[in-house]
Amino acid sequence: MGTVITLIFELLGVVAKNPFVQKIAMFSFFFTLLSFTVNFFIEKVQTHLSDFSQILALASYLGFLNALAVVLNFLITGFIVKQILAFLR
């Protein structure tokens, strides 16, 4: 049983040293964190969005604001991960 656990940990160590796996792990972590933060603030603002403008209310209703949030999440997360991995090298 001990050798199986040791073997699993060794394989995980080899996989964790792979730069592609590191990028995927860091990207998913930061994307989740950023998505949660953006969704939190969008929900806070969305209740008062109809008071600001009819165009913003329509954009929110059609999903343009959600699509913009996803695109910005990808761009910001990609930049953060790229900078962290460049710093670690």
pLDDT tens sequence across 14-46: 767 777 777 888 888 888 888 888 888 878 877
Question: Which pLDDT tens digit goes with each residue over 31-86?
Answer: 888 888 888 887 887 777 667 777 777 777 777 777 888 888 888 888 888 888 77
Output the CA–CA distances (angstroms, integers) from residue 43 to 33, 39, 51, 65, in the order listed.
16, 6, 15, 11
DSSP letter assigned to residue 18:
-
Structural domain spans, the chain: 19-88
Output the CA–CA distances (angstroms, integers) from residue 28 to 24, 37, 64, 70, 78, in the order listed.
6, 14, 23, 13, 10
> Between vectors from CA 46 to CA 41 and to CA 49, what angle results, nearest 5°?
125
